[in-house]
Amino acid sequence: MMNDLINGFPKQLEEAVAIAENAKLSKPINSINKVVICGLGGSGIGGTILKETVQHEASVPIEVIKTYTIPAYVDKHTLVVCSSYSGDTEETLEAFAEAKKRNAHLVCITSGGKLLVQAKANGCDAIVIPPGMPPRACLGYSLTQLFKVLAFHGIASSYSEQILSSAKFLVENQPSLMKAAQRMAEILVDKTPVIYSTSLHEGVAIRFRQQLNENAKILCWHHVIPEMNHNELVGWSHEYPNLAVLIFRDTHEHPRNDFRIDLCKKIFEQHAPVVIEIPSKGKSALEKKLYWIYFGDWVLWYLSELRHVDATEVKVIDQLKSDLAGK
């Protein structure tokens, strides 16, 4: 059951740190001057969250790719991390093959499948995480390994202690977090969510949107501030009785973005019946993101129950993969 997997997220973070500490990685032959992370869905969102978290200290540019192709600049001086929980994501497998042709330094994060086979066959580093779960329920495993890879290559500092402290923080706050999540789910049950964050937290907004799609089986959208102030804001010109606006709001936003959120909130409140701020909790930037993720996962579990849908099944995606495999 999805609720059991969500409940186990703090423990997963602890296990993920242990896996990372025991991971065997190799130094690249050539110097690294850029990073490309390849992955989609539940396996790819970790790259987005990682990039946001380390961008203030990363010694080289980091790009996250969520398609078949890789940028032309990928070469022997590029660290390419391929993340596919199943190991059979066709887009990631194609990106792996192309990166190998260009002599990039490759690291794979997977539970098995073709990606692990290819990594072993080509002598590439691979970190193996536990199999048998929906990819979206394994973010703790994959995200932690991404931090490990960057720390090993000297691109960012180690985040192991922050991950462990986050796991403890989530357990301590779980009772109140779950109550708040249930209340929010009850508000959202007959609404279309519109999710906003600043650009520094877009990974959290995307994760929430993805979980709404896969767990609650509903459509929604997200955008970021300040970009939406230059386009989408114009759409808030008349009433939208079926919308619910959710704003992920950090305690340490850029002062101008903080002011923008206040101004935008007044506009949203004029045209939508529900406008809710979701404040960050935690000490570090990573702890705040993981709190939001854990809170959001519980919201969408409760919402799936209220909507009488199976939070685990993804029949539409399974059918798409089957159709793709047949051609």
**Residues designated catalytic:** 214, 230, 321
List Cα–Cα distances, 118 to 26, 59, 121, 172, in angstroms: 17, 29, 5, 41
Q: Bridge partners of 83? A: 109
Contacts of 258-266 with C-beta under 8 Å, sequence gap 24+, read 260/225, 260/226, 260/229, 261/196, 261/198, 261/225, 264/196, 264/225, 264/228, 264/229, 264/233
- Helix 285-306 crosses helix 9-22 at what angle (to 10 degrees)? 130
> Distance between CA 110 and CA 89 in Å, rounded?
10
> Distance between CA 128 and CA 131 in Å, rounded?
9
> Distance between CA 247 and CA 252 in Å, rounded?
14
> Distance between CA 65 and CA 219 in Å, rounded?
23
> Distance between CA 30 and CA 13 in Å, rounded?
32
Alpha carbon 301 to its chain centroid, in Å, reads 17
Alpha carbon 247 to its chain centroid, in Å, reads 17
Q: What is the largest CA-CA distance in the chain?
A: 59
